[in-house]
A and B are shown apart, each in its own frame.
Chain A
């Protein structure tokens, strides 16, 4: 347990310090949201209507882009080999790394959401709904994206290939995330239904993601 705790502490500390790049995700999120009115026009009514979708899309892309570094930096300095060879189960170590990544890169996105919601003319309830759904949904993005990050590091290929592989897998999260936010704002469906499915998706990906990532890392070793 202490090994996992120290992995989390170390990863969060590295991500938050100079060169870590955790906050670049928030900057990217902000930029994507700011770009949106330039594309669809400064119509506040329209922006309020598509606001939750824009925020979700921005958060999805931001969390995917920062995932590239999840294993890459460790592979470059050799600490990934130590993690793979250590007595801590690799699945748990992967889960710890993903959790640390979510704490450092996912949580800031959620904190930034109400501010960005103001730019998109979302009212209090809408911003709160998007925040809640992002809180429930971004772990699923991180944990499924981790599979792509592990494949990227074993194949020494990152970037676009990883995005192409992982994005289709994140479609259910996007659907239920936006559905739950819309349900809270206007929709005929009660908020609880899509929201609990969103939570289920997150929980399931927390199980599948670490196993797939660990299998990929292990097979990449030999």
Chain B
């Protein structure tokens, strides 16, 4: 079964009907495991129990960027290969990505309150996250502004790709603009600075959240396909009613 076979929505629907329960179950198991591990993880000697916010915050932040990557691939699928499901994938990924971004901002601000003494700080990472959130919202607004899905798909695809080129630039310029946040500690040159007791729960949570995204995304794609079928049926019915 290749990607071109999945171009048939019916085949996609039947495949996801089989996969989704397993995927959801696996996600639930991993999420439970990750949550238990994070709860059992030791307190940080400086940050105390608040360090556990990291186990939710970091996966959300990773996924918020990963989802834009998924949308960029889908945008290429729309523009280059005209894959029929690509615009469905792009459309349904946007709200999920916005939700992950929002959660990353939200948990970050909850973490910032005890650590920095403020809910909001105009530091580089928070600010570029906020800009990413704004771009997700703009993209959703674009999808909602146009009735014809295929027209909206191409416009959104171009905007997604422009955003993908621009995001690193924005990140770099915001970094220049202000650096108060602690430097990256997991993806640091020369190995990780995190202790194993923090790293393992974090990785489990990251995998669990990624699976959560895949599950939600596939489910949302199914819904979107069914919604489009309902729309087509309604339009056919309306035109039949009009012709009688």
Smallest beta-carbon distance A176→chain B, Å? 6
Give, as a whole number of angstroms, the nearest-CB distance from A91 to chain B: 13
Q: Which residues of B contact A171 (CB under 8 A)?
A: 131, 170, 173-174
Please tell me which one of the listed residues B134, B145, B162 contacts residue A161 in the complex, with CB atoms under 8 A apart.
B145
Taking the closest CB of chain A, its distance from the CB of B36, in whole angstroms, is: 39
CB distance from A156 to the nearest CB of B (A): 9
**A216 in the interface (beta carbon within 8 A):** yes
Docked complex Cα distance between A208 and B79 (Å): 16
Contacts of B49 in A (CB 8 A): none
Say whether A168 contacts B155, CB under 8 Å: no
Q: Of A155, A204, A208, which one neighbours B155 at CB under 8 angstroms?
A: A155
CA distance A72 to B176 in the complex (A): 37
**Which residues from 210 to 236 on chain B have a C-beta closer than 8 Å to any C-beta of chain A?**
none
* CB contact under 8 A between A168 and B174, given known A155-B145, A216-B155: no
In this complex, how many residues of chain A approach chain B with their Cβ under 8 Å: the count is 26
Tier of interface size on chain B: 20 to 34
Interface of B is mostly: helix
Q: Are A147 and B162 closer than 8 Å at their CB atoms? A: yes
Chain A neighbourhood of B151, CB < 8 A = 154-155, 220
Q: Is A215 on the interface with B (CB-CB < 8 A)?
A: yes
What CA separation (Å) do A144 and B176 show in the bound complex?
21
B146 at interface, CB cutoff 8 A? yes
Q: Do the beta carbons of B169 and A168 come within 8 Å of each other?
A: no
- Residues of A175-212 at the interface with B, using a CB-CB cut-off of 8 Å, are 175-176, 179, 194, 197, 201, 204, 208, 212
Asked whether B142 is an interface residue with its Cβ less than 8 Å from the other chain, the reply is yes
Nearest to B165 among chain A residues (CB) is A208
Given A164-B138, A164-B141, A175-B174, A212 and B152 touching (CB < 8 A)? Answer: no
Given the known interface contacts A157-B145, A168-B134, A169-B163, the answer about A175 and B176 at a Cβ–Cβ threshold of 8 Å is yes
Asked if A44 lies at the interface with its beta carbon under 8 angstroms from chain B, I say no
Q: List 24 A-B contacts (CB under 8 A).
A: A147-B159, A151-B158, A154-B151, A155-B152, A157-B146, A161-B141, A161-B142, A164-B134, A165-B138, A165-B142, A168-B135, A169-B162, A169-B170, A172-B166, A172-B169, A175-B173, A175-B174, A175-B177, A204-B169, A208-B162, A208-B165, A212-B158, A219-B155, A219-B158
With A155-B146, A164-B137, A208-B165 known, 5 other A-B pairs at CB within 8 A are: A151-B158, A155-B145, A155-B152, A172-B172, A176-B176
Which 5 interchain pairs have the tightest Cβ spacing? A172-B173, A219-B154, A175-B173, A165-B138, A164-B138
